[in-house]
Structure 1
Amino acid sequence: MRRGLMIVLAIALVGSGIWGYQQYQENMEHNIYLENQFQRMFYDMIVDVENIQVSLAKAMVTGTPKQNVMLFTDIMHLSYDAQEKLSQLPIDHSNVSKTQKFLSQVGDLSMSLARKNLDGKPLDQTETDTLEELHNYANYLSQQLIELQGQIANGGTRIGELARKANQQLKETNANMLTTSFVNMEEKMREYPELIYDGPFSEHLKRKKPRLQGKQINQNEIERIAESFVNDGTKYEANVLGDLNDTRMPAYVVSLKPRTGEANHDLTMAITKTGGKVIWMLDAGNIGEAKLSEEQGIQIAQAFLKNKGYQQMIPTYSVQYDGQMVINFAYQQNDIVIYPDLIKVKVGLDEGKIVGFEAEGFLSNNYERNIDPPKITAEEAREKISMAADVSEPRLAIIPTEGGSEILCYEFKAKYKQDTFLIYINADTGDEQKILQMIIKDEGVLML
């Protein structure tokens, strides 16, 4: 009997060891996969920045508007792609805000200049001087990223270590080296020239006073607001990391760490000093394989917004990648879609958790508008669209202009052969105000 018990225990011990080894191997494979993903993303970002610098140099020497249109279009896409890669790296968001802003503005300036060249207008001296400064800063950023990549390769630092907080104590020196390098880049990027141009990210629009109102919030209240906003059943410890004062909406940056010691589940958010509203929130936890549908993801995001007091928000379009889904919501007033009042929600499709949130557009622009009735009918607006297109029933929408104003339009979804477009007809003048191509993929819908 005793011997039989010993055999059973031995078998159980061996089985436990095999199971533990399998778990270890699976964790190792998962970590290697994440590391490879981060390394690829980091490398792709460097390539994008290098190509931005090269294309900016070409734009300063070419004299043909046609060639400039091609160059500026490339720069626009490269800038937005580099910004997206940077936003997905496991790096503290507050450390790279200026660099992200730089990439956004380079991309949007390029769009504006491409449109100018389409009209046959050459660059003036001020625009050429601005391009030269931006080229120099893009070159600096490229060199710093290449140097950082070399430090990672030679020093054995893993980008993925920044996301694995469980090993933070053991890897603190290397992790700080990587983060500090980005902070150093940030200090240099603060010096890049202010851009004044007709585009949605231009500095003269950024200086517009937000409509957000409310009392001033102190740090003690900030920690309570942060924990209340997440409210996902996990007990967090909130810490104020610092202030964001050089922004349209001054804010506190707050870190939330689980009290239970859960790994890979730290959150960071920015909360306005006026009114105590969450501008953005990012969950650094790992996202597993998608198990939920697109419809379920939208329902989860809608329920979250309603729970946070954001009523009358309707989903407009979405995109899916790496087990997560980003949904754009616009405010709706009297059945009119208000596109400037925008909120983005990111849902993990593995467990249905809210892993990202951004409401700067809504907090900056939302108010109850006095909307005059349209001066033309929907039928009159329809006549402005090619009869060759298959057009759906329109809806009224307010869209932002690149100069910062708002226009009431009829929004038509039009299909022509294999392509789908959103066409906006000015509801007062009947002019075609804007046209967007909808790129419909398995991952979601993109607008170009």
Structure 2
Amino acid sequence: MRKGIIVALAAALIGSSVWGYQQYQQNMEHNIYLENQFQRMFYDMIVDVENIQVSLAKIMITGTPKQNVILFADIAHLSYDAQEKLSQLPIDHGNVSKTQKFLTQVGDLSMSLARKNLDGKPLEQSEMDTLEQLHNYSNHLSQQLIELQAQIADGGTKIGELARKANRELEEVNEHMLTTSFVNMEEKIREYPELIYDGPFSEHLKRKKPRLQGKQISQNEIERIAEDFVNDGTKYKADVLGDLNDTMMPAYVVSLTPTSGEASHELSMAVTKTGGKVVWMLDSGNIGEPKLTEEQGIQTAQKFLKKQGYQGMIPTYSIKYDGQMVINFAYQQNDIIIYPDLIKVKVALDVGKVVGFEAEGFLSNNYQRNIDPPKITVEEAREKISMTAEVSEPRLAMIPTEGGSEVLCYEFRAKYKQDTFLIYINANNGDEQKILQMIVKDEGVLML
């Protein structure tokens, strides 16, 4: 009996050892796989940066806009791919901000200049000078990355281990980590030139100031403004929760709590410190089964906007879900739709109450514009659209560009087979400025 127990224990011990060894082997194989993946990402990122440098050099010597478009498209692809690889490395990405900024902006700038070449416009000397500086920067960056790769290899550092160690003894292993090497590398990198172009990551957008004006508002006034804005028959107690200073429009965050026990919901909103305008408002109350039609929801939102002093706002597109409806309103000036001046209103379709509001676009951009008449006719604009599309009568619209400027366009609604599109033809030069597909669903309209 005792011998049998010993044999059983020995068998169990052997089985446990075998299982443990198998687990160890699996972990080793997994770690090797992860390490190979990280090394491949790092290597591919270096190759991308080197190819960015090569393509930028080619632009320096080519004189044909057609070839430039191809090269700019390659640079944009390489930039976004390198940024993706960088984002997957186990490093503190706050310490590689210069590298991330470069990859983002060089790709965005390339797409902007590609569009310019497609329009038949040659590059200006200032743009060529910027590209030359970016070429020099990318050359320096690629050399630094190659040197960093060599340091990692010589030091026997495994990138995969950094991912695991970074989750625990960060301070102890910091001097050996890839993050530290990146920080040292970035300290050696010169600042590349400020990029001003027609794109969403252009430097000038960071300096763009909202057009909102007015006196500075005290906290006591903020509470009164918040209560007056809601004014739905419920008595609220307003409390200022804090500040939003790191935004285009510094604001106070306000909480509104019903003073009676009948209502359990709360409202929150942001009120600008300049001018005392509500940037956004959200009602957290429950919404019941919808009883109002979409038309009634739009009418509710229109009445609310007029009550708040927003005149000349027309509904554009909407979406309906979960018993509520969100309507986009754009400002209209002399029968021209001004899309940058946008306000969104959310209406609960059970009782017809406004439960959401967002006016950052309007407050940032609205002013009385001096709009010159179109330089091309409706007929000339219509000729830019495919003959296979069924086109409705256009309307004039001011639309924003990616770089934060505005352009006057003819807005055509075009239908091809079962699909509907909005086509914007530049009213000054006839270029196709933008095209959006309208996805019409039961709950509303989506724009892609």
Which interval holds the TM-score relative to the shorter structure? 0.5 to 0.7
Is 2:42–2:86's contact at 8 Å kept on the other side of the alignment? no
TM-score, normalising length: structure 2: 0.60
Q: Which residue of 1 aligns with 2:185?
A: none
Q: CA deviation at 1:124?
A: 7.8
Q: Which residue of 1 aligns with 2:368?
A: 368
Instruction: Decide whether aligned partners of structure 1 residues 415 and 208 sit closer, same or farther in structure 2, where only a CA change above 3 A counts.
Output: same
C-alpha distance in 2 between matches for 1:297 and 1:59: 53
Q: Which residue of 1 aligns with 2:356?
A: 356
Question: 2:75 aligns to what SS in structure 1?
Answer: coil
Instruction: Decide whether aligned partners of structure 1 residues 431 and 59 sit closer, same or farther in structure 2, where only a CA change above 3 A counts.
Output: farther
The superposition leaves residues 360-417 of structure 1 with CA deviations (integer Å, 9 ceiling, x where unpaired) of 0000000000000000000110010011111111100000000111000000001111
Q: CA deviation at 1:121?
A: 1.6
Q: Which residue of 2 aligns with 1:250?
A: 250
C-alpha distance in 1 between matches for 2:314 and 2:397: 12
The superposition leaves residues 249-297 of structure 1 with CA deviations (integer Å, 9 ceiling, x where unpaired) of 0000000000013454100000000000000000111111211111111
Q: CA deviation at 1:205?
A: 2.0
Question: 1:121 aligns to what SS in structure 2?
Answer: helix
Is 2:42–2:89's contact at 8 Å kept on the other side of the alignment? no
C-alpha distance in 1 between matches for 2:243 and 2:326: 27
Question: 1:305 aligns to what SS in structure 2?
Answer: helix
Max Rg structure: 2
> CA RMSD, aligned part only?
3.3
Q: Which residue of 1 aligns with 2:420?
A: 420
Q: Which residue of 1 aligns with 2:223?
A: 223
Paired residue type of 2:310: Y
Paired residue type of 1:443: E
Question: 1:413 aligns to what SS in structure 2?
Answer: strand
Q: CA deviation at 1:425?
A: 0.3
Task: After TM superposition, list the pairs within 5 Å mapping 1:40-59 onto structure 2.
Answer: none
Unaligned runs of 5+ in 2: 1-36, 49-68, 94-193
C-alpha distance in 2 between matches for 1:364 and 1:242: 21
Question: 1:393 aligns to what SS in structure 2?
Answer: coil
Q: Which residue of 2 aligns with 1:401?
A: 401
Instruction: Decide whether aligned partners of structure 1 residues 381 and 118 sit closer, same or farther in structure 2, where only a CA change above 3 A counts.
Output: farther
Question: 2:225 aligns to what SS in structure 1?
Answer: helix
The superposition leaves residues 87-138 of structure 1 with CA deviations (integer Å, 9 ceiling, x where unpaired) of xxxxxxxxxxxxxxxxxxxxxxxxxxxxx99974234886566445544699
Question: 1:384 aligns to what SS in structure 2?
Answer: coil
Q: CA deviation at 1:64?
A: 12
Paired residue type of 2:423: I
Is 1:60–1:128's contact at 8 Å kept on the other side of the alignment? no
Instruction: Decide whether aligned partners of structure 1 residues 392 and 265 sit closer, same or farther in structure 2, where only a CA change above 3 A counts.
Output: same
Question: 2:74 aligns to what SS in structure 1?
Answer: coil
C-alpha distance in 1 between matches for 2:47 and 2:86: 21
Is 1:346–1:354's contact at 8 Å kept on the other side of the alignment? yes
Instruction: Decide whether aligned partners of structure 1 residues 125 and 378 sit closer, same or farther in structure 2, where only a CA change above 3 A counts.
Output: closer
TM-score, normalising length: structure 1: 0.60
Is 1:421–1:435's contact at 8 Å kept on the other side of the alignment? yes
Q: Which residue of 2 aligns with 1:328?
A: 328
Instruction: Decide whether aligned partners of structure 1 residues 58 and 366 sit closer, same or farther in structure 2, where only a CA change above 3 A counts.
Output: farther
Is 1:315–1:330's contact at 8 Å kept on the other side of the alignment? yes
C-alpha distance in 2 between matches for 1:326 and 1:138: 40
Matched length: 291
Paired residue type of 2:440: I
Q: Which residue of 2 aligns with 1:121?
A: 74
Unaligned runs of 5+ in 1: 1-53, 66-115, 141-194
Question: 1:247 aligns to what SS in structure 2?
Answer: coil
Q: Which residue of 1 aligns with 2:447?
A: 447
C-alpha distance in 2 between matches for 1:59 and 1:336: 51
Question: 2:380 aligns to what SS in structure 1?
Answer: helix
C-alpha distance in 1 between matches for 2:90 and 2:342: 31
C-alpha distance in 1 between matches for 2:90 and 2:308: 40
Task: After TM superposition, list the pairs within 5 Å mapping 1:12-27 onto structure 2.
Answer: none
Instruction: Decide whether aligned partners of structure 1 residues 256 and 422 sit closer, same or farther in structure 2, where only a CA change above 3 A counts.
Output: same
Task: After TM superposition, list the pairs within 5 Å mapping 1:130-169 onto structure 2.
Answer: 130-132=83-85, 134-135=87-88
C-alpha distance in 2 between matches for 1:133 and 1:259: 52
Is 2:45–2:81's contact at 8 Å kept on the other side of the alignment? no
The superposition leaves residues 34-64 of structure 1 with CA deviations (integer Å, 9 ceiling, x where unpaired) of xxxxxxxxxxxxxxxxxxxx9xx98995999
Instruction: Decide whether aligned partners of structure 1 residues 298 and 124 sit closer, same or farther in structure 2, where only a CA change above 3 A counts.
Output: closer
